[in-house]
Structure 1
Amino acid sequence: MAARGPGEAVVVSGGAGELVVMWAGFPLLGAGLGAGLTAMSGWVADLPWFPFQGWFALLDRWPAERSFPVGAAVVALAGLVLAFLGTRERLTVTVGRTSVRLHRDGHGRDVARAEVAGVFRDGKALVLLDAAGGELARERSDLGAERLRAAFTGQGWPWVDRDPYEAAYRRWVEGLPGLPAGADALLRARQRAVDADRGGEAVELRGELARLGVVVRDEGKRQYWRLVPGPPDRDGARR
């Protein structure tokens, strides 16, 4: 949803409907799936490639009045876990005239309008660029590009339809020249984090690369990088 908030800020989020889908729809879908799998438990238990065969064999031995409620409840619980994780990952974007607030999982950060030279969607990521071409923020979400564009342009922010530095990215291959000192090791560590789906570590290493003047983006499990004009200062931050 996009709505007017205090001070005429525009709030873009998934809205209450998204929460209803997650907290009601996921468990109900899980319960139905669990009941269906319970009905086929004997057949599933004989499939050598299917996980949890011991569990399905147990369900097959139980009487129906016991196996169906238990099978449905277990998968419904998995649906609740997915709903919890999905709620934590929801991004809320509050766009005002002088700043934008990016809020996720109980934590928020503010980016001042004066620091931002461009805003765009890169795949599923909302990206804010500074005047030198560095990334001030990169936040993944399912928020629609049109809703975000309307919110930002309505508040006078410089929305662009695509990444103005798209052509500058190069695929990272270990050991190739062109990176500043230390960046190759960070990208190597980040690749391990990406391959292992350690999202928090990958985000942290993205920040370390930014301090070296390197912007990184992902396409699947592949990393692409570009340099930001202007070297880091003595403290490691870009001028």
Structure 2
Amino acid sequence: MNHTTVHLNFSKADKLFLWLMLPLIGLVIGYFLPPISEWASKLEWVPFQGPFKLVASLNAGWVIFATMAFGLLAGIILTLVIYDEILNIYISEDTLVFKIGKVEMKYLKDDISYIYIDHKDLVVIGHEGQEIFRYKKEISTKILKEELGELGYLFKDGNPYKEQFKKWVPGLTDLSLEADALLKAREMMLKNDNSEEALQIAIELWKLHVSVKEIEAKQYYRVA
């Protein structure tokens, strides 16, 4: 990457909420866990009887401090997991890098025609009008537009391809058999809430110049 690299994910307000509120919520839950465990352990229909009975059986004064520490740690870990799973954007003068969990995609500025926002999705368009990246962003459009513009990327307002997307119906499209099979597999991943695999399949579709997005849990596609 170039020496000047901007990293974008959450807004300052969202970061403040995540780093303060989630650990604080964990701390509060940890504080009330001992009395809750004592109450729940007496009700056989309540699930997780094992952990509740274990906490209830510990009458030492240190228990509440241990559960509070555990709650605080759980809140911090949850925050880190959220940071890892959302879209992280790294902008430099010659490259644009996206990281989502274990997936990392790098694009040269010379391979990018322009960028636009489709609802909450950040969309990157190649020189043949094809989508080469699409994913839900967390950062505000205003900040994203400013940072991209400062580093020389073309950002367009609105969705120039809005009318070109078609609802995908298995076997009843103008797509190739390969693209149709990929959309079937992606639909299954979406139903199973497997976002990482759904992204990997979308990457394969982009290679075929097939764009894909969801509207009300249905897949829509566009061929460039």
> Normalising by the residue count of structure 1, what TM-score does the alignment of the two structures yield?
0.74
**Partners of 2:150 and 2:208 in 1: how far apart?**
34
Gaps of 5+ in 2: none
Give the Cα–Cα distance (whole angstroms) in 2 for the partners of residues 47 and 160 of structure 1.
59
Aligned pair count reads 221
- RMSD of aligned residue pairs (Cα, Å): 3.2
Measured in 2, the distance between the counterparts of 1:204 and 1:117 equals 23
Distance 1:16 1:34 in 2: 27
The one of the two structures with greater contact order (alpha-carbon pairs below 8 A, sep at least 6) is 2
**2:202 equivalent to 1:206:** yes
Q: Which of the residues 110, 114, 132 maps onto 1:114?
A: 110
Aligned partners of 2:118 and 2:158 also within 8 Å: yes
User: In structure 2, do the counterparts of structure 1 residues 64 and 161 end up closer, same or farther at CA, with 3 Å as the change threshold?
Assistant: farther
Q: Does the alignment pair 1:140 with 2:131?
A: no
Out of 161, 168, 178, the residue aligned to residue 165 of structure 1 is: 161
Paired residue type of 2:118? D
3-state DSSP of counterpart to 1:65? coil
Corresponding residue SS for 1:79: helix
Alignment check: 8 A CA contact 1:152 1:159 kept: yes
Classify the secondary structure of the residue corresponding to 2:124.
Answer: strand
| 2:220 equivalent in structure 1 | 224
**Corresponding residue number in structure 2 for 1:235:** none
Q: Determine which of 77, 82, 97 is the counterpart of 1:81.
A: 77
- Residue-by-residue CA offset, 1:1-23 (whole Å, 9 max, x unaligned): xxxx835x655454898777655
Judge conservation of contact 1:60–1:67 (CA < 8 Å) in 2: no
Displacement of 1:143 in angstroms is 1.4
1:40-55, aligned counterparts within 5 Å? 40-45=36-41, 46=43, 48=45, 51-55=47-51
Shift of 1:88: 2.5
SS at match of 1:178: coil
Amino acid at match of 2:90: V
Residue 184 of structure 2 is aligned to residue 188 of structure 1? yes
**TM-score normalized by the length of structure 2:** 0.78
Matched letter for residue 198 of structure 2: A
Aligned to 2:61: 65
SS in 1 for 2:96: strand
- 2:26 maps to which residue? 30
Deviations 1:181-202 (A, max 9, x none): 2222211111121222222221
For the structure 1 residues 15 and 149, does the alpha-carbon distance in structure 2 shift closer, same or farther, using more than 3 Å as the test? closer
Does the 8 A contact of 1:27 with 1:80 survive in 2?
A: yes
Give the whole-Å Cα distance in 2 for the aligned partners of 1:19 and 1:181.
44
Change (3 A) 1:203 1:131: same
Sequence identity of aligned pairs in percent? 26
Per the TM alignment, residue 208 of structure 1 is displaced from its structure 2 partner at its CA by: 1.7
Aligned equivalents of 1:159, 1:208: Cα separation in 2: 25
Moved more, 20-29 or 184-193: 20-29
Secondary structure of residue in 2 paired with 1:173? coil
